[in-house]
Amino acid sequence: MSEVLLTFKNFGFQYNAQAEPTLYDINLEVHRGEKILIAGPSGCGKSTLASCINGLIPFSYRGEMTGSVQLKGRETRDLSLFEISRTVGTVLQDSDGQFIGLTVAEDIAFALENDCLPTDPMHERVRRAAELVGIGTHMKHAPGDLSGGQKQRAALAGLMVNDVELLLFDEPLANLDPATGKQAIEFIDDICRQSGAAAVIIEHRLEDVLHRSVDRIILMGDGRILADMKPDELLASDLLARSGIREPLYLTALKYAGVQITPEKRPSGIRDIILSDQDKEKVRSWMASQDPVSGKKGGRDLLSAQDISFSYSNGRQALRNVSVQIREGELLAIVGTNGAGKSTFSKVVCGFETPQEGRIQFADVEDWMGLSIKERADHVGYVMQNPNQMISQTMIFDEVALGLRTRGVPEDEIRSRVEDSLKVCGLWPFRSWPVSALSFGQKKRVTIASVLVLRPKMIILDEPTAGQDYRHYTEIMEFLRELSSRGFTIVMITHDMHLMLEYADRSVVFSEGQVIADDTSAGVLTNPDLVKRANLKETSLYDLAQLCGIGQARDFAQYFIDYEREVVRK
Amino acid sequence: MNSVFCYIDRPSPIHDLTGATKLTCLLLWSFAAMMTYDTRFLAFLPVFSFLLFAFSKIRLKDVSFMIGFTMVFMILNNLLIFLFSPQHGVSLYGTCHELFSLGGRYVVTLEQLFYHLNLVLKYLSTIPIVLLFICTTNPSEFAASLNRIGVKYTVAYSVSLALRYIPDIQREYHEISQAQQARGIEMSKKETLFKRLKSASAILIPLILSSMDRIETISNAMQLRGFGKNKKRTWYMGRPFRTADILSIIVCALLLATAVFLNIRNGSRFWNPFS
Amino acid sequence: MKKSPVTTIVAIGIGAALFFVLGRFVAIPSPVPNTNISTQYGLLAFMAALFGPVAGILIGLIGHALIDFSYGWGIWWSWVIASAVFGGLVGFLCGKLKLDDGEFGTKGIISFNIFQVIGHIIAWGVIAPVLDILMYAEPANKVFLQGLVGGIANIVTTAIIGTILCYAYAASRPKKGSLSKEA
């Protein structure tokens, strides 16, 4: 085994402000050049562990440390944050918070500037790092002109200028669309191989990280390390399911078909997996035993958009002849890359932007296009991605009541409507709490409640599950499904493929301002051409179907989803 | 697009000067213009600045929007001064040449008109040079320039951060206000002033509180990349001084010296043609 | 909570950016035609109370200077300095408020407002007009009346927006309470 870079021995940590330790009994070694995935649900302590690796603990966050953390043989508490950062480079989850320069070149140069390097060698090293990560042609771009993937590359270049030996990635996939996320994983892998740096990736989207192999997976739960093993061993065990981490879809499918998963079958990647003919036969016969569920849902058209075209004042055309029908009571996903027009479409529906051409008919409302933003909100509710951007009151009740108060509804009617809305959203027990006492997911419900209180027929949600772990994701999505079954029409703008596949009755795919597909989610995600154009990623169910010689990948994916919904959940 | 600077990347001798030079010159120039009311000097500055403007290849239409703003501001300020103090010129210059009366205390005097002429010249001496600065200075160079002229690098970096996050905050404000409008928040004139302020809070609170959360992230990101490690730092956008830089600074220093000299020779900040 | 020097630097940058966006784009029509109400002083008072006098001075200075720059009339130093003085005074006087610990009760509201009124009176009643006279030789009655009108408007906006901000921030701080679900 190669040289040890980082060692945790019987390590524990407790924040000053907290009553209980966040980490217990951490024993962990990271070797030079190794690639490790740390997975675990929200609140399991994986972010705190990251802070212990990069030195934010103990130098930025105060608390009590027990045991030892050594970086290249020296206790981190005896080093300084700056010395640690010469060895450990961190890519934070919030790419806009990480990007502090006015342009790409300045951001890459940041660490060198702080080292007082003269400008000439600095320019040279910045150029080399930029070329290494493939962003050399964007040196003068401002962060606002970059995509999420490009920002991440710039961040990585900013670390590579210093030849760090350990790269730490905090949820690198959180803000990327599926195709870009796939590229990011390939790219992280390539950079580590080239530079010989070790990588520690913190991420709960296990299947996406395993697109390229990792040496070990550390599974965390409740502040402890639950498992530290090779991916194949971990995936063959039932540890994932028990700790609230979603296992790769193809493994779930294999289990439904009754295939026994063992480490010898190399289950950690769909391309490496070894299935016997017997296993493949099991999958095929499982498929044959499924009955097609006629899942068509929804009745008459609720919203009908005809030939919408819209250009921003800077001349950029965001929508070109877009026509979309949304049926009453359905759960619809609108997907596509950033800038494909999916957000603009929802803004046009809500009246935030006025299209130059085309019209929208909503139920039997007369002259929808003539209604103001406020008037449209009585029919269509809009929920932003980050609940912190919507909440302005300190008490939950007041927050939910805000829209009614601005409409001059009498106070006793407000009370009953707010109470109804809180009950629907499962917030009734918290009705007299301040908003600050709630978790992120609960805040999300508050914003949904504050929109539902206006009694709209349809709700549009922007990235409803962004940044949520599997448990919270399931919680939010089951709630939306329940709303849908109560007759609300739910439209989700998303690039989360699991969400599409598992929950959306239908997906409308945007690309470059146009609608390029309108199909079931299984149909979209098993269509390689469509997947490529929309910057999505094929579901691994497609690969599994291919592997088992099933021609109808689309039906296979659909049966899988139906089986999950109908059989497993009940 | 940066909404503070309107940097226009069109090579010219003015663009070639370092940011630090342009900032130093701007300060020297504006202090010179602020210090004296010597009309001859104030008449020379606009002519000089128009020449520089031609030199910089910045066109009038690039800055017409801002010129409009400043003209309105200039006219309003002149009107206000006349409204409040129609005899201010008389008290400054000590003589009184009445021209005609507008009724009441509003008697137009030569001294007052001359004072307003000086005010207008003052605007004309500073506005072109400021516009020149914001159109030819790369915002990326601004923080390095501040540091170069003696501002602590930490403070200079605050300015850079402000420029970096203004577009983000602007966009966020826009998105939040749309979502809040849907809930019925209005800031139009239809509402009472108190209600308008309360509505503004409903937009500003989420905007500001989410920005507070961001402060910690950015501060961590900066420390993890060694910010604050040394007593000084270098700048990617820093450039060495060349002959043209030194010459420009000398010219602007001479302007300031002239202004000081004129004030001493005139015995006050005012050049008085009436005595 | 002890704040690191880098956090203060970042707070100044973000504060100045917010000050700029509020001053430049968040226009609330006022009863006087063609004049808008400056919401940015509510923000400045809040940030100064939270991050102290140095941050207050620099947010006022940088934010106001950037606004002036963006209009193209250069820096109107007298008013820029007045904004900085206001930020500094509020930061200095509000040093005992513990917004970070979630404390902002009636006593806090009263003292915050007394301090912001003192700050505005000194900034717009004294500093801005005196500097206008010294630097720009403007007539005294004009500048003092401008200061008075501006000062009163700023006191009102700070009283509303600044107080709401402090209150909302303090309420958002984690507190160990005894909340329990109601059936």
Residue in chain B nearest A82 by alpha carbon: B226
Q: Is A113 on the interface with B (CB under 8 A)?
A: yes
How many beta-carbon pairs below 8 A join chains B and C? Answer: 187
Residues of C in contact with A443 (CB under 8 A): none
Residues B258, B226, single domain; the answer is no
pLDDT, position A401: 93
CA distance A509 to chain B (A): 23
Cβ distance B161 to C75 less than 8 Å, yes or no, reads no
Q: Is residue B219 part of a domain?
A: yes
pLDDT, position A436: 82
pLDDT digits (tens, 9 = 90+) for A8-64: 999 999 988 778 899 999 999 999 999 999 998 888 889 899 999 999 998 988 889
Output the CA–CA distances (angstroms, integers) from residue A47 to A1, A32, A56, B218, in the order listed. 27, 22, 11, 16
Residue in chain A nearest C165 by alpha carbon: A392
Residues B76, B11, single domain; the answer is yes
Q: Is the pLDDT of residue B1 over 50?
A: no
Instruction: Decide: A76 and A65 in contact? Cβ < 8 Å.
Output: no
pLDDT digits (tens, 9 = 90+) for B24-59: 999 999 999 988 999 999 999 999 999 998 888 888
Q: Which of A28, A22, A65 is nearest to A46 (CA)?
A: A22
| DSSP bridge pairs for A12 | A66
- Radius of gyration of chain B measured on its C-alpha atoms: 24
How far is residue A332's CA from residue A341's CA, in Å, rounded to a whole number? Answer: 16
Q: Is the pLDDT of residue A560 over 60?
A: yes
Helices H / strands E in chain A, number of each: 24, 19
Q: Which of B237, B274, B259, B275 is nearest to B40 (CA)?
A: B259
Residues B9, B107, single domain; the answer is yes
pLDDT digits (tens, 9 = 90+) for B142-172: 999 999 999 999 999 999 999 999 999 999 9
Length of chain B: 275
How far is residue A337's CA from residue A94's CA, in Å, rounded to a whole number? Answer: 19
pLDDT band at C179 (very low <50, low <70, confident <90, very high): low
Residues B101, B210, single domain; the answer is no
Q: Which two tokens stand for residue A415?
A: 């009370």
Q: Is the pLDDT of residue A570 over 70?
A: no
Full residue range of the structural domain in which residue B214 is found: 151-236
Residues of B in contact with A421 (CB under 8 A): none
pLDDT digits (tens, 9 = 90+) for B64-112: 888 888 888 889 889 989 998 998 999 889 899 989 888 888 999 999 9
pLDDT, position C1: 44
Within 10 A of A479 (CB to CB), how many other CB atoms are there? 18
Q: In the complex, which subunits touch C with 3 or more CB pairs below 8 angstroms?
A: A, B
Cβ distance B232 to A116 less than 8 Å, yes or no, reads yes
Coil vs helix vs strand at A406: coil
pLDDT digits (tens, 9 = 90+) for B204-235: 999 999 899 899 999 999 999 999 889 999 99
CA distance A421 to chain C (A): 16
Residues B123, B251, single domain; the answer is yes
Cβ distance A384 to B181 less than 8 Å, yes or no, reads no
pLDDT band at C2 (very low <50, low <70, confident <90, very high): low
Instruction: Decide: B28 and B252 in contact? Cβ < 8 Å.
Output: yes
Residues B134, B1, single domain; the answer is yes
Residues B229, B258, single domain; the answer is no
Residues B118, B254, single domain; the answer is yes
Instruction: Report the amino acid identity of residue C88.
Output: G
Q: Which of A182, A469, A461, A485 is nearest to A333 (CA)?
A: A461
Instruction: Decide: B158 and C12 in contact? Cβ < 8 Å.
Output: yes
How far is residue A376's CA from residue A373's CA, in Å, rounded to a whole number? Answer: 5
pLDDT, position B189: 65
pLDDT band at C182 (very low <50, low <70, confident <90, very high): low
pLDDT, position A314: 81
How far is residue A303's CA from residue A305's CA, in Å, rounded to a whole number? Answer: 7
CA distance C182 to chain A (A): 5
Write the residue in C43, C71, C75 that is nearest to B66 by C-beta: C71
CA distance C73 to chain B (A): 5
Non-local CB neighbours of C149 within 8 Å, separated by 6+ positions = none
Coil vs helix vs strand at A511: strand
Write the residue in B202, B226, B236 that is nearest to A85 by C-beta: B226
Supply the mean pLDDT for chain A. Answer: 90
Q: Is residue B144 part of a domain?
A: no
Instruction: Name the residue ranges covered by the structural domains of chain C.
Output: 5-172
Residues of A in contact with B178 (CB under 8 A): 347, 350, 352, 373
How far is residue A376's CA from residue A312's CA, in Å, rounded to a whole number? Answer: 21
Write the residue in B80, B164, B197 that is nearest to C161 by C-beta: B197
Q: Is residue B55 part of a domain?
A: yes
pLDDT digits (tens, 9 = 90+) for B176-188: 998 888 888 877 6
How far is residue A512's CA from residue A506's CA, in Å, rounded to a whole number? Answer: 20
Cβ distance A436 to C171 less than 8 Å, yes or no, reads yes
Q: Which of A142, A107, A137 is nearest to A122 (CA)?
A: A107
The answer for A 397-416 residues in CB contact with C (under 8 A) is: none
Non-local CB neighbours of A536 within 8 Å, separated by 6+ positions = A177, A178, A179, A335, A495, A497, A509, A524, A525, A530
Largest CA distance in chain C: 70
Residues of C in contact with A17 (CB under 8 A): 174
Instruction: Decide: A318 and A513 in contact? Cβ < 8 Å.
Output: yes
pLDDT, position C35: 63
Write the residue in B181, B183, B221 that is nearest to A100 by C-beta: B221
Coil vs helix vs strand at B274: coil
Write the residue in B140, B184, B210 that is nearest to A406 by C-beta: B184
pLDDT digits (tens, 9 = 90+) for C104-129: 889 999 999 999 999 999 999 999 99
Residues of C in contact with B42 (CB under 8 A): none
pLDDT band at C177 (very low <50, low <70, confident <90, very high): very low
pLDDT, position C33: 57
CA distance B144 to chain C (A): 15
Cβ distance B34 to C135 less than 8 Å, yes or no, reads yes
Helices H / strands E in chain C, number of each: 8, 2
Average pLDDT value for residue range C35-54: 91
Q: Is the pLDDT of residue C178 over 50?
A: no
Q: Is the pLDDT of residue A441 over 90?
A: no
How far is residue A103's CA from residue A117's CA, in Å, rounded to a whole number? Answer: 19
> ∠ CA A511-A517-A522 to the nearest 5 degrees?
115
CA distance C93 to chain A (A): 26
Average pLDDT value for residue range A327-340: 89
> ∠ CA A138-C7-A469 to the nearest 5 degrees?
70
Give CA A532 to chain center in angstroms: 19
What secondary structure does DSSP assign to A489-537, as a single string? EEEEE---HHHHHHH-SEEEEEETTEEEEEE-HHHHHT-HHHHHHTT--
Instruction: Decide: A420 and A342 in contact? Cβ < 8 Å.
Output: no
Judge: domain C5-172, CATH 3.40.50.720.
Answer: no
Q: Is the pLDDT of residue C55 over 90?
A: yes
Q: Is residue B105 part of a domain?
A: yes
Q: Is residue B146 part of a domain?
A: no
Q: In the complex, which subunits touch B with 3 or more CB pairs below 8 angstroms?
A: A, C
The secondary element (H helix, E strand) that includes residue B183 is none
Q: Is the pLDDT of residue A323 over 70?
A: yes
Give the position of tokens 């849902």.
A297
CA distance C116 to chain A (A): 23
Q: Is the pLDDT of residue A543 over 50?
A: yes
Residues of B in contact with C63 (CB under 8 A): 162
How far is residue A438's CA from residue C16's CA, in Å, rounded to a whole number? Answer: 30
The answer for C 163-182 residues in CB contact with A (under 8 A) is: 167-168, 171-177, 179, 181-182
Q: Is C5 on the interface with A (CB under 8 A)?
A: no
- Radius of gyration of chain A measured on its C-alpha atoms: 25
Mutate which of B163, B166, B183, B190 to disrupt the A interface (most A C-beta within 10 Å)?
A: B183
User: How many domains does chain B divide into?
Assistant: 2
Q: Is A57 on the interface with C (CB under 8 A)?
A: no
pTM of this structure? 0.92
pLDDT band at C135 (very low <50, low <70, confident <90, very high): confident
pLDDT digits (tens, 9 = 90+) for A456-492: 999 999 988 877 788 888 888 888 998 888 889 999 9
Average pLDDT value for residue range A88-108: 92
pLDDT digits (tens, 9 = 90+) for A508-528: 999 999 999 999 999 999 999
Residues B270, B211, single domain; the answer is no
ipTM of this complex: 0.91
Residues of A in contact with C176 (CB under 8 A): 19
Residues of C in contact with A435 (CB under 8 A): 171-172
pLDDT, position A468: 79
Residues B68, B96, single domain; the answer is yes
> Quick one: what percent of chain B has pLDDT higher than 70?
97
Decide which of A468 and A417 is more confident. A417
Residues B19, B95, single domain; the answer is yes
The secondary element (H helix, E strand) that includes residue C183 is none
